Amino acid sequence: MSKLKNLFVNLSLMLLASPVFAQAAEGAASGNGELTKMGLAIGAGVAIGFAALGGGIGIGLTAGNAVSGIARNPNASGKVFTPMILGIAFVESAVIYALVIAFMLYTKL
């Protein structure tokens, strides 16, 4: 777990801290507006990235468990299929909601 934590911290520092320091190195004359725009851009990217990751994991688990249930009892395929499709639709709606939020953040740039 410690290696995973170190990897996450290193990636965070590379992705988030480097642009901040690069912005500060250009000079303070540009003001704080560019830093805010950069934060919105990073926020939009992170929002859709985590949503897509979570949605992919959720859909994979849903479909995998549905197929496993159908494999154990083939007669229940009709009863398993409908809740599986509903679950996938709910997961996708959350991902689409995150996409809308990312577009809203992007339009503020």
Domain limits, the chain:
1-31, 32-107
Q: Which residues of the chain have pLDDT under 70?
A: 1, 3-32, 109
Cβ atoms within 10 Å of 13's Cβ, excluding its own: 10
Predicted local confidence at residue 60, as pLDDT: 93
Is residue 43 within 8 Å of residue 107, measured between CB atoms? Answer: no
Predicted local confidence at residue 75, as pLDDT: 93
* Two structure tokens written together for 37: 């725009």
* Two structure tokens written together for 96: 């689409």
User: What's the pTM value of the predicted model, to 2 decimals?
Assistant: 0.62
Supply the CATH classification number for the domain 32-107: 1.20.20.10
Predicted local confidence at residue 31, as pLDDT: 57
Predicted local confidence at residue 4, as pLDDT: 67
